[in-house]
Amino acid sequence: MAIRNFSSPLKIAVLCGAAIAGVAFWRAPLFGAEAPVVIAPAALDNPKAAGAPQTAVLSAGCFWGVQGVFQHVRGVQNVISGYAGGEKSTAQYETVSSGTTGHAESVKITFDPAQISYGQILQIAFSVIHDPTQLNRQGPDVGTQYRSAIFYSNEDQKRIAQAYIAQLDQSHAFARPIVTRVDPLKGFYPAEGYHQDYLIHNPTQPYIAMYDVPKIENFRRTFPQLYSGQPVLAHN
């Protein structure tokens, strides 16, 4: 997503070059995306049980790809791209992109607790969506707005998130320590309409093709039992 901040002539040149590469290679497995990491499920987790829909809010880099992957998860009913961590008054894309608002590009996931657990949602995020050992960046995107963070809405979510991070660190699931923040959710603010379902509507856009579409393939390969070929749409 960083290429969108270039000046117009340079941006056009970069996009043209990236488009050539994207058309030629975006279907290649794993192109441009972080390699998936096979990790154990959360030892501490809520049991799956029928009940009212629940929500999870997390950030893991550019929200286009994060939303795109979770839209393919069985049991997920809706995924909204947005902003969390800052004030409502600064929850606009151009302002958040300055990296000075405290916001992180985030997603709000509504899910059926009988089909998927909170711990499984975190497992997907850590395994195939982003590298939780990168501080304030993901891939080509740099800044606190791209940080790895879990925004908990209750003590159960806080306990599960903290225990899972400790579990993964203790097992050396990653080569470096996890830097994911676990913060209370003070507010979630949906992003502008053009950001919603962006991956679904723009699969061949160079950034999406290079960095985000491969994440969905990584998810399908790594979690076939949780993959749905019919994505849910935010605008529904």
Name the H helices within 108-150: 118-124
* 99 Rama class: left (phi>0) / alpha (psi -120 to 50) / beta: left
Q: Which of 62, 104, 128, 234 is catalytic?
A: 62
CA dihedral 209, 203, 90, 142 (to 10 degrees): 0
Active site residue 62: yes
Choose among 179, 64, 54: nearest CA to 119.
Answer: 54
How far, in Å, are 34, 93, 204 from residue 20 at the CA level? 21, 27, 11
- The overall longest dimension of the chain from CA atoms, in Å, is 54
By annotation, the residues acting in catalysis are 62
